[in-house]
Each structure stands twice: as C-alpha cells, then as structure tokens.
Amino acid sequence: MSVTVASVGVMTDQNAAQPSDLSDLSALDAGTVPLDPASTAALAAVGLTYRKVDVAGEDFDRFALAMDRGFLGQRGTPEQLEGFRGAMDGRRPIGVFDDAAVESGVPVATVDTWVEEVTVDVGRVLPMWAISGVTVSPTHRRRGIARAMLEGELRSAAAAGFPIAGLTVSEATIYGRYGFGQAATATSWSVDARRAGWIGPRPTEGERPGRIDPIEREHAREDVTALHDVVRRGRPGEIRAWANLWRFTVGLGAGQEGAAKVRAVRYTDADGVRRGVLVYEIENHPDDFTKNTLAVRSLIADGPEAYAALWRFALTHDLVATVKAELLSADEPLRWLIADTRAATVTERDHHWLRVLDVAACLEARTYRVPGAVTFVVSDPVGLTDGAWTLTIDEDGAGSVTAGEAGAGAGGHEVHLGIAELSALLVGGVRATTLRAAGRVECDGDAASWLDVALAPLAQPRLSVWY
Ligand SMILES: CC(C)(COP(=O)(O)OP(=O)(O)OC[C@H]1O[C@@H](n2cnc3c(N)ncnc32)[C@H](O)[C@@H]1OP(=O)(O)O)[C@@H](O)C(=O)NCCC(=O)NCCS
C-alpha cells in the first residue's frame, strides 16, 4: 500500500477557535462540579465519607497535612500552608474521611482537581480535567479508595462535559487501568558542557545581535508566564498552567525552600522583543570551583533564535562543567546544536498521561495530515467511551466523527484498541505502528501505516511542567 501525504491545508493559526460549547469550560470553577454519586455511595458502604474540603478553614489544613503525608513529604510550614491555600482558586480539593479513625477530621485520602487547557495540535486547545494530589494513607491502602476517587473524577468530568482528563504521575503503573495513556514522554539531560562544543547559531553575535540580560525574579515570573502562554499553544501536550506554579519556578513561592539560589536571564531579539527566558540555579561543586553544575529550572523560547541563545548561554557558562535539564521533549533540538552528542546523557520516561472522555470532541479538535477514514472500535475500562467511532478526514485535514458500527467509513480502516491507546495516539506522541507491534492495537499493517501519517504531530509532544 502506498501512503500519501496530501498537501492538506494544515491549521497552524495559534488563535484558532475551539468549539464554542467547549470553550466556556476552560474558565469553569472546578468546585462547581458535583461529586460522583456512584463513588460517594461505594465509599459510604465501607464507612468512608467522600466530600469536598472547605478551603477557608481547618478542614483545608488537615487536607494539606494528609497530602504531605501521602507524598512522603514533611509537614508544611504555616507560610507554605497559607501559600497553598491562596493557590486554590478554582480548585476542587476532595477528602475521603474515616469516621472511625482516631483523628477522623484528617482525610485518609485526597484528590485535587481543576480545569486546565491542553494543546492537542498546534494552535488547538481543549479544556481538560486536571487531576492531582492523589494520595491514600498507607493505613488505608489497597482497599479500592484510589479506584473510587479516580473513577469518580472521570465520571464527574465527563458528566460536566470535559472531553479529556490528564495527570502526571509518581509511578507509571497506576493509571493505565483507568484508561490513561502515555501521551508525551519527557527527557532528562546531563551535558558535559566542556566536551559538548557549540555548533549552533550565535544569536547574540553578528550584525543584528540579540541580547541576554540578567533579570530579577519578578521579571522572570512575568517572562515565564507570558512566554509559556504563547509557546504552549504551539506544542501538543502542553497545558495552560497556573500562577503559583510560576511563582515556585522563579523562587517566589510562599516559604519556598532553596528560593535564594534561583536566578534568571532574558533573551531579547534585535528588534527589542522579549523572546525567551532561562531560569536556573547553580549547584556548587564541593571541591572544585570550576566544576559547578547549572540546573535548568525552565527554559522557554519563542522560536529557534531564543532557543539557541539561551542554551548556548548555559553550555558556555564560566565555572560550569555540567548542565542539567528535565522535562525536555523526546526530540529535542539541543541534540543538533552541540558538536559532540555523546557529551549528553539523555534518559527518557513517561510524563504526560491523557485520558479521552469524549472521543468525537477530542478527535475533531485536532487536524490530520492525510484524507481518509478510520473506525476506532474502543473498549473503555470505566465504560465512558465504548463503541465504534468513525473519523472521516477531508482534503483540508479536518476531521469529523460519527458514532456507529465498525466499517461505517466507506473504504476506511478499522482499528480495535483501548481508550488508553487512543488517548496516547491523540497528540501524536506514539506511532500506531509501534502500538501495533506491541500488540496494543489490533488492525492490519496498512491501517497502522496510514494512521502514522494521518496522526503525525506538527510538533513533538511535550509537557514542560509537573502537575
Ligand atoms: C497510589 C495510591 C494512591 C493507590 O491507592 P490505593 O487506595 O491503595 O489503590 P486501590 O486500592 O484503589 O487500587 C486500585 C488498583 O490500583 C492498583 N494499585 C494501587 N497502587 C498501585 C501502585 N502503586 N502501583 C501499581 N498498581 C497499584 C491496585 O493493585 C488496584 O488494582 P486493580 O483494582 O486493578 O486490581 C496510594 O498507594 C498512594 O497514595 N501512594 C503514594 C502517593 C502516590 O504515589 N500517589 C499517586 C500520585 S500520581
């Protein structure tokens, strides 16, 4: 079979409108979404109360305590607690309470949800139900509490009209069972800066040089906030993020440990336009003043010029022997900017897990590289998306979805898969041929090859933050 990439009019307009009925969801206060009745009843049947936490009072202090315990952290200071409380606008903290416990006011399980936007294609975002803070006390583990919370969150989000849910994880083994798929992998880099050798552009030199300036943390906060909001829309897998995350990124978090180490520089192009920001810290070598490590906290570049300028700044920094960075993409241009790629040690792991809740809304939100039709026959462990969904792609790369019998798309392909696999395929971070080779999707080879082309991402999926 021959696979042809049609000269489709690929949508790259970063201001592209999203479906009007979905766009309102992006601004929704998650606290207005009701708790799932089935999970509330299931937990009540075993003597547990599943309820929202009151952010204003001691209820929240106990929620925070339970979450700190759950993630094996230490008790937050009063300043940290107030910072956490102040960042809860629009959030939906939930606790599970054991009325028979010695301290029954402290939840034995927590979950924190809110509304995000996730980019599914260049210039295309969807409202997303973000799930975080999932903990179950070690005293109450493996009784199905996490399952009740996760399934409850997914049903609540789907009932409220959210097309997709997402999370980042402590362990890769936990969430596939609920239909989450690994949508964007992340790479961690450790570069021997002396060995690497810079072969890329030098935007701060030449006839029209840009410039790099040191900036204080408040400027850095403005920069990461503004630049991320532009860059994330062009990168499948990225999310909108929130103000308190950026405060911690630049060292302005309430009671933040290690904040004094955070420093930043801004890249401004020859026209005076702010194009990039690098937030980093220096880890001092105990014995040798020339062997310090520069640890990147955030590098956000609006275009290749700022990207090269900021990475060159980091890799040629005096008294720095090693540059470390995390949450880079699986296809990072940095590899092509250094002479000796073996100077970089790169490790890869799962990072952004997505979970399609509405197959039609998700598939219609992105664009495609080749016309045709495919019927996805989906199985869903939580029962939200089971069935046959036929995606028809027109000559312009737009997709439309109809629910119905397999084979409904005349001459189309047919693919049998779980919702986790469809969620992984959605933003193009994994190829259908790879999933087929792993036995994770069932279809013929032609269908998988066609899907590889149709779903090819315009930019390598990435998520540059934890949530
Ligand atoms: C992970 C955690 C939330 C699980 O809570 P739990 O109430 O014990 O989980 P449940 O009893 O509901 O288990 C549900 C299913 O998940 C499985 N599971 C639970 N924890 C797991 C883990 N860490 N790894 C793999 N599978 C796990 C159970 O075996 C069970 O499987 P099944 O129902 O498909 O047979 C809990 O162990 C915890 O708080 N861990 C520390 C904090 C953390 O890592 N949180 C996750 C943040 S992303």
Summarised one tens digit per residue, pLDDT across range 167-214 is 999 999 999 999 999 999 999 999 999 999 999 999 999 999 999 999
CA distance linking residue 326 with residue 30, whole number of Å:
30
pLDDT at 363: 98
Q: Domain spanning 187-348: which CATH class is it, in words? A: alpha beta
Residue 40 has pLDDT above 90, yes or no: yes
| pLDDT bracket for residue 15 (50, 70, 90) | very low
| Chain mean pLDDT for the chain | 94
At 74, the amino acid letter reads Q
Give the distance (Å) from ligand 1 centre to CA of residue 37.
21
Q: What is the pLDDT of residue 20?
A: 52
- Of the pLDDT bands very low, low, confident and very high (cuts 50, 70, 90), residue 104 is very high
Atom of ligand 1 nearest to the CA of 146: 12
Residue type, 281: E
Residue with more model confidence, 20 or 417: 417
Take atom 20 of ligand 1 and give the residue whose Cα is closest: 174
Question: Which residues sit with their C-beta closer than 6 Å to ligand 1?
Answer: 70-71, 134-136, 141-147, 169-171, 173-174, 177
- Note the pLDDT of residue 4: 33
Per-residue pLDDT at 12 exceeds 90 = no
pLDDT bucket at 16, cuts 50 / 70 / 90? very low
3-state SS, residue 45: coil
Q: What is the DSSP string of 152-207?
A: HHHHHHHHTT-SEEEE--S-TTSSGGGT-EEEEEEEEEEEEHHHH-B-S--TTSSS
Is a pLDDT exceeding 60 seen at residue 67?
yes
State yes or no: pLDDT of 10 exceeds 50.
no
Which of 297, 259, 260, 256 shows the shortest CA–CA distance to 280? 297
Q: Convert the pLDDT of each residue in 310-347 to its tens digit.
A: 999 999 999 999 999 999 999 999 999 999 999 999 99
Intrachain domains 20-167 and 187-348 with the same fold: yes
Please check the confidence at residue 410 and state whether its pLDDT lies above 70: no
- Kindly give the distance from the C-alpha atom of residue 58 to the centroid of ligand 1, in angstroms, as a whole number: 27
- Using left for φ > 0, alpha for ψ between -120 and 50, and beta otherwise, residue 280 falls in beta
- In the chain, % of residues over pLDDT 70: 94
Distance 171 CA to ligand 1 centre (A): 9
167 DSSP β-pair partners = 353
**pLDDT of amino acid 22:** 86
- Confidence at 255, pLDDT banded by 50, 70, 90: very high
Residue whose CB lies within 8 A of the most ligand 1 atoms, among 112, 136, 139, 382, for a mutation test: 136
Residues near 4 by Cβ (< 8 Å), separated by ≥ 6?
370, 453
Q: Is the pLDDT of residue 155 over 50?
A: yes
Give the integer Cα–Cα distance in Å for 384 and 177: 13
What's the pLDDT band for 9 if we cut at 50, 70, 90?
A: very low
More confident position, 270 or 6: 270
The alpha carbon of 193 and the centre of ligand 1 are apart by a number of angstroms equal to 40
What's domain 20-167's superfamily in CATH?
Gcn5-related N-acetyltransferase (GNAT) (3.40.630.30)
Residue boundaries of the structural domains of the chain: 20-167, 187-348, 359-454
Judged against a pLDDT cut of 80, whether residue 407 lies above it is answered with: no
How open is the CA angle 263-266-272, to the nearest 5 degrees? Answer: 160
C-alpha–C-alpha distance, residues 186 and 429, integer Å? 11
Strands, E assignment, 318-463:
320-328, 344-356, 372-379, 387-393, 399-403, 413-418, 441-442
Ligand 1 atom nearest residue 133's Cα: 47
Fold of 359-454: Nonspecific Lipid-transfer Protein; Chain A (3.30.1050)
Of all atoms in ligand 1, which is nearest to the CA of residue 135? 39
Residues 313, 315, 321, 324, CA torsion sign: positive
With a CB cutoff of 8 Å and minimum separation 6, the contacts of 76 are 64, 65, 68, 84, 255
Pocket test for ligand 1, best of 94, 108, 141 (most atoms within 8 A of CB): 141
Nearest CA to ligand 1 atom 27: 174
Tell me the C-alpha distance between 55 and 92, whole Å.
9
Mutate to test the pocket of ligand 1, among 174, 349, 352, 382 (most ligand atoms within 8 A of CB): 174
Closest residue by Cα to atom 16, ligand 1, is 174
155 CA from centroid of ligand 1 (Å): 19
Chain-centre distance of CA 151, in angstroms? 20
Amino acid, single-letter form, for residue 154:
L
d(CA 10, CA 57): 50
Report the separation in Å between the CA atom of 350 and the middle of ligand 1, taken as the mean of its atom positions: 17
Nearest CA to ligand 1 atom 29: 142
